[in-house]
Amino acid sequence: MQELTDPSPISPNTGSSPASGRPSVLLVNPPITHAQRTGPLGPIIKNLYFNSPPLGIAYIAGLLESKGMRVRLMDAAVEGFSPEETVEKIIHWQPDILGLTSTSNFFCNAIELGQAVKKVLPGITTVLGGPHVSSQAEQAMARPCFDFACIGEGEYTTLDLVETLANERDPGSVEGIAFRRNGRIHQTARRPLIATLDDLPPPARHLLPLDKYVAQPNDGPYLPKMAMISSRGCPFKCIFCDHGTYGNTYRSFSAPRIVDEMEELVTRYGARDIAFVDSLFMISDKRVRGIVTEILDRCIKVHWTCTIRANIASRELLALMKEAGCWRVRIGVESGNQQVLDFIKKEVTKEEIREVAGAAADLGLHPKAFFMVGHPTETEQTIQDSIDFACSLPLTDITVQINTPLPGAPQFEIYQRYGESVSDNLEDYTFWQPVFIPRGLSREKIEEFFRKFYLSFYLRPIIAWRHLTMLRRPSDIQRYARALGLLFQRFIRTRVDAVFHTSKQA
């Protein structure tokens, strides 16, 4: 099933290949430090951050390859490479251009790697991309280890930049970048969003170690599971969401192109389950109906999951999705208090959520819901409302995160009116620890309710029963043992350790 991770490797070199006349490009997802792996969030990092490949840089690699470029991908994080090992591999491969991707909470990892590489390969060209730099270009480019920043969608910007540098043209002509000239940071005009996504080649999954991405333990019985993006952008205005990379304009691959990629995942990579990880899979009944009709017409046999909107999904549409192989739907709920939902501009009602969750459960679609605690207007009562609402719904699973005002999100401009920031360290911006405390709450209360949310939901007989009905083979027992271990490690053992540490100090 597994393809070779490097069918067309880049040989070590000291410059552009004379034969191709094109520079070699290495795109890297930076490594995780030892402190991050072994710290309190280590289990979260392992189970949530590395269950699917970095499709952003894989799309860039796919386009570069289609244009005859020599390109390689390295997911140093999932490979388990240390920062030192990552630098050693970069030294060995000697790419002309090193591209790094970064989210806000792992920006320090990109800086550390960029600095280390520049120290040993001062002539290498470094390009930073990803969600963080797209909203914080000036701040990111203040770091001298980055020569260029790619802002927004990266495919055509990276291609344009690579070709411009190869031909020694002025990088100021490249749309969608920031760079330094004469000690000053220059930012070019933003590149228009890609109008026709079908023009993009598929992501270069064959350059990634696909066997090392491990699905979350409660992500279902159908393995191997692979991730896929069928659209970009989101037109809704939820205040907690950062649209820095893809913007508010919604664009979709065509239904035939989407199902083409699904078919490739099944036939080439052996996928038995496909997770659509779009910001918004269900923009309309028409779009989803077109995709599932294409799946049914082609008789594609694969399980899949997606995110839905409660005010768009109908029982009829959910039934059609089930017929086409969908086995789980994910619902962005965020809060069980209607006033909070209205404040964060979710544009759904609790009644709509309850109706859709009930329909999904009736159809055997194992609904999963996403919640947040710590919204700007949050109180102890509104968080309890969310816990009670989650437990009242026929859900199989939940994911709960702590509201984190990210740069570029609408709430970033207003959150200080409703509480206080308790950390400006981007490493803490994980959604799994408090960095913002709403007025009237405390860090301890947020953490207490966060823990209570998970334990109140999962430590119920009905949840055990719902998961028992999903057991298919002996290996499923191992998955659930891993899930229980994660729950214990994150919410019980860490609490006991904290109490013991406090009592010892007293």
Per-residue pLDDT tens over the stretch 15-44: 333 334 678 999 999 998 888 877 877 777
Domain contains 498:
no
Residue 403 near residue 410 (C-beta atoms within 8 A): no
Rounded to 5 degrees, φ, ψ at 70 are -90, 115
- Angstrom distance (rounded) from CA 37 to CA 451: 21
Domain contains 166:
yes
| DSSP 8-state assignment for residue 121 | -
pLDDT band of residue 214 (cuts 50, 70, 90) is confident
Which of 408, 369, 77 is CA-nearest to residue 246? 408
Residues 180 and 222 in one domain: no
Residue 149 near residue 131 (C-beta atoms within 8 A): no
Q: Which domain holds residue 114?
A: 24-187
Residues 255 and 141 in one domain: no
Per-residue pLDDT tens over the stretch 251-306: 999 999 999 999 999 999 999 999 999 988 999 999 999 999 999 999 999 999 99
Residues 178 and 224 in one domain: no
Given this model, what pLDDT does residue 480 score?
60
Residues 231 and 165 in one domain: no
Size of the chain in residues = 506
Given this model, what pLDDT does residue 72 score?
97
Residues 372 and 443 in one domain: yes
Q: Are strands 24-29 and 97-101 parallel, antiparallel or unpaired?
A: parallel
- The rounded percent of the chain whose pLDDT value lies above 90 is 72
Burial string for 58-84 (b: 16+ CB within 10 Å, else e) reads: bbbbbbbbeeebbbbbbbbbbbebebe
Query: The domain that contains 278 carries what CATH number?
Result: 3.20.20.70
Residues 162 and 222 in one domain: no
Domain contains 350:
yes
Domain contains 238:
yes
Domain contains 473:
no
Query: The domain that contains 165 carries what CATH number?
Result: 3.40.50.2300
- Angstrom distance (rounded) from CA 272 to CA 258: 16
Domain contains 488:
no
**Cα separations in angstroms, 356 against 287, 326, 360, 365, 367:** 18, 15, 6, 11, 9
Residues 247 and 165 in one domain: no
The amino acid present at 104, given as its one-letter code, is S
Given this model, what pLDDT does residue 392 score?
98
Above 80 in pLDDT, residue 77? Answer: yes
Secondary structure of 327-385 in HEC code, one letter for each residue: EEEEEEEECCCHHHHHHCCCCCCHHHHHHHHHHHHHCCCCCEEEEEECCCCCCHHHHHH
Above 90 in pLDDT, residue 244? Answer: no
- The rounded percent of the chain whose pLDDT value lies above 70 is 88
Domain contains 342:
yes
- Angstrom distance (rounded) from CA 139 to CA 21: 34
Mean pLDDT of 326-340: 97
Residues 277 and 394 in one domain: yes
- Angstrom distance (rounded) from CA 86 to CA 83: 5
Count of domains forming the chain: 2
Domain contains 160:
yes
Residues 221 and 169 in one domain: no
- Angstrom distance (rounded) from CA 278 to CA 295: 18
454-462's contacts with Cβ under 8 Å and 24+ in sequence apart are: 454/398, 454/400, 454/487, 454/490, 454/491, 455/487, 455/491, 455/492, 456/387, 456/391, 457/387, 457/390, 457/391, 457/395, 457/398, 458/487, 460/391
Residues 130 and 246 in one domain: no
Residues 265 and 374 in one domain: yes
Q: Is the dihedral of CA 387, 349, 374, 53 positive or negative?
A: positive
Above 70 in pLDDT, residue 421? Answer: yes
Of residues 136 and 283, the one with the higher pLDDT is 283
Residues 298 and 405 in one domain: yes
Mean pLDDT of 69-75: 96
